[in-house]
Amino acid sequence: MRACIPLALAVLCGLAWADLYSAPTSCQGRCYEAFDKHQQCHCNAHCQEFGNCCKDFESLCSDREGFSYSSDAITKEEIQSISEKIYRADTNKAQKEDIILNRQNCISPSETRDQVDHCPKPLFTYVNEKLFSKPTYAAFINLLNNYQRATGHGEHFSTQQLAEQDAFLREIMKTAVMKELYSFLHYQNRYGSEQEFVDDLKNMWFGLYSRGKEEGDSSGFEHVFSGEVKKGKVTGFHNWIRFYLQEKEGLVDYYSHILDGPWDSYPDVLAMQFTWDGYYKEVGSAFIGSSPEFEFALYSLCFIARPGKVCQLSLGGYPLAIRTYTWDSSTYGNGKKYIATAYIVSST
């Protein structure tokens, strides 16, 4: 892994009452506690982003495998296998010559809150925009400007915008990436038909919920791919296409990065700092060079198989962890919770 600091994989834990005492350098009894600056090392939900987890974080705060108590459990090994198939199926991804990055300065986690621009030049030196004429890319880009980025302002979609959501889903379902994902989930008894799967994806990603006082001011797609601003800070915004287009318009200013994934081709992973029209993003992880369907497939897989947990994948032989969050205050069909966010935790 090309990184300034070692980033540990974060996973959920369940501990017995007898485990509540722990040494200050251990996560025993401390998994997913609130951040405390006085601790020597940390076991909170974001320690993997900042590289300050205790050494036993991964071993003690281990994932209970989501559906492990049901008869139709999706195992870690099955998730890793299907993620490798999705990785190989992404024929729409960028080739090496399609993107030239200028990563510039890599900083330590302790510097991410300083809001100092360590990179005078843009992140993207060159992108072959012929990629954007591909059907899934074009349909994806059509969606990006359908949202008000400030939370607290209700979203109201026009007939055209609703049609663009359907068009995007139609285009990605034509790809080998999404066919692989559907076949896997169908085999796992999660969906009885492709239409049921598509309907669920639409609710999961485009269904509106409330992050503020205004009803229906956010969605999974808006947060993860387009980005939002809440209380003066950027939230979400985990997509390289959105980043490139906004940087090209002069709205995004790349500051630095703290992690560069191990892949020597696209898709790669970058965890970076930037401002968006003056609003700061402390740590924003994103795939670089992946197709829209690839990201959509992996995030959906993790939300379905490990909702609200860390999902351990394998891409090209390298491990990758994605964390999803559910939105507890609102649900769709059969009590399922909306996807609130999905982001890359780390690669090792």
Residues 6+ apart with CB under 8 A from 139: 164, 167, 168, 170, 171, 172, 292
Alpha helices (H) in the chain, listed in sequence order: 47-50, 57-60, 76-89, 135-143, 159-173, 176-187, 194-206, 220-221, 240-248, 292-305
Cβ atoms of residues 51 and 5 within 8 Å: yes
281 carries an active-site annotation: yes
CA atoms within 13 A on the CB side of 102: 15
Tokens of 113: 């809150």
Closest CA to 88 of 346, 291, 224: 291
Active-site entry in 42, 76, 238, 337: 238
Active-site entry in 42, 281, 309, 337: 281
Burial tier of 314 (Cβ tally within 10 Å: 0-12, 13-18, 19+): middle
Residue 108, classed as helix, strand or coil, is: coil
- Can you state the angle between helices 194-206 and 292-305, rounded to 10 degrees? 90
Residues 6+ apart with CB under 8 A from 270: 101, 103, 257, 259, 260, 261, 285, 286, 288
202 carries an active-site annotation: no
118 carries an active-site annotation: no
How many of the other CB atoms lie within 10 Å of CB of 338? 23
Active-site entry in 76, 93, 223, 337: 223
For 101, the enclosing helix (H) or strand (E) is: strand 99-101
Cβ atoms of residues 313 and 87 within 8 Å: no
Catalytic residue IDs? 223, 238, 281
